[in-house]
Amino acid sequence: MKSTSRLALALSGVLAAAPVSAQMIRTAATGAAPIAGITVIPSGLSVLPVNHLPASAFGLGSAGFAVLPQVSHGLIPMTLAQSPTLPLAAANLVAAQTLTAVQPRAALSANPSAIGIAARTQSLEVGRFASRIAPEMKSIQQGATGASAKTAADRIFNPSARSGAAISEGSEVPAVPSAMITPKAAGLTKSNGARTTPLLSDVTYKAEVSVAHQLLLRETLTRRKAGWIRELARMGVQLAGPVAPVLTITASKDLPKSGKVEFMVEWNQGEMHVGSFKALITLKNLNPELRRLAAPPVPEEKQLAVRFKKTIIANVGGLNVETAVTDDRIAEFLEANGLRLLNKGWGDYEYRVSVTGGAQAAAMAKLLSGSDLVLYARPAALKVPEERQLEVVFKKTTVVDFNGLRVETAVSPDDITALLLKNGLTVLELSRDGVWKVGTEAGIAAEVSDALESAGITLYALPRKQDLPEDRQAVIKFQKSVIVDAGGILVEAAVSEDDVAAFLRGNGLKVVAAYGDGAYKVAGPAGTDSQGLAETLGKDRTVKSAVAVGSLTDQQIEASAKGVASYKGRPWSSTEYNMNYSMSYSYLEMAGATQAQLQKFSDLCDAAPVRGGGFNPWSGD
Mean pLDDT by 10 residues, the chain (621 residues): 36 34 38 38 37 38 38 39 38 41 42 53 60 71 67 64 41 37 37 68 92 94 94 91 91 94 94 92 95 90 93 83 89 92 78 92 91 91 92 91 83 91 92 90 85 91 88 95 86 91 93 92 92 93 94 94 94 92 95 95 95 80 49
> Burial of 347 by CB count in 10 Å (0-12 exposed, 13-18 middle, 19+ buried)?
exposed
The whole-angstrom separation of Cα 277 and Cα 500 is 55
What pLDDT shows up at residue 588? 96
Q: Is beta strand 473-478 parallel, antiparallel or unpaired with respect to 519-523? A: antiparallel
List, in order, residues 6 or more apart from 147 with CB less than 8 Å away. none
Quote the pLDDT of residue 295: 86
| Residue 538 near residue 548 (C-beta atoms within 8 A) | no
How are beta strands 543-548 and 473-478 bridged, if at all?
Answer: antiparallel
Question: SS3 string of 287-316?
Answer: CEEEEEECCCCCCHHHEEEEEECCEEEEEE
Instruction: Say what the pLDDT of residue 121 is.
Output: 54
Q: Where are the alpha helices (DSSP H) in 158-279?
A: 160-163, 178-181, 211-223, 225-234
| DSSP, residue by residue, 507-562 | TT-EEEEEEETTEEEEEPPTT--HHHHHHHHHTSTTEEEEEETT-S-HHHHHHHHH
CB 56, CB 203: distance < 8 Å: no
Among 6, 4, 2, smallest CA distance to 25 is for 4
Sort 477 into a burial class: Cβ within 10 Å, 0-12 / 13-18 / 19+: middle
Contacts of 322 (CB under 8 A, 6+ apart): 311, 312, 313, 314
Helix ranges, 30-159 (H): 88-98, 112-132, 134-141, 146-157
Q: Residue 446 carries which side chain, given as an amino acid letter?
A: A
Give domain 467-549's CATH architecture: 2-Layer Sandwich (3.30)
The DSSP result for 557-603, as a single string, is HHHHHHHHHTTSBTTS-HHHHHHHHHHHHHHHHHTT--HHHHHHHHH
Report how far residue 294's alpha carbon sits from residue 296's, in angstroms, rounded to the nearest whole number: 7
The CA-to-CA distance between both ends of the chain, in Å, stands at 92
Identify the three-state secondary structure at position 144.
coil
Per-residue pLDDT at 444? 84
Among candidates 393, 392, 395, which has minimal Cα distance to 499?
Answer: 395
Q: Are 361 and 374 in contact (CB under 8 A)?
A: no
| Residue 276, amino acid | S
Determine the pLDDT at residue 129.
Answer: 66
Phi and psi at 41, nearest 5°, equal -125, 155
Each domain of the chain, given as residue ranges in start order, spans: 2-178, 182-293, 467-549, 554-607
Cβ-contact 273, 293 below 8 angstroms: no
- Exposure string (b/e) for 27-58, b if CB count within 10 Å is 16 or more? ebbeeeeebeebeeeebeeebeebeebeeeeb
Say what the pTM is.
0.61
Q: How far is CA 255 from CA 280, 281, 472, in A?
A: 9, 10, 73
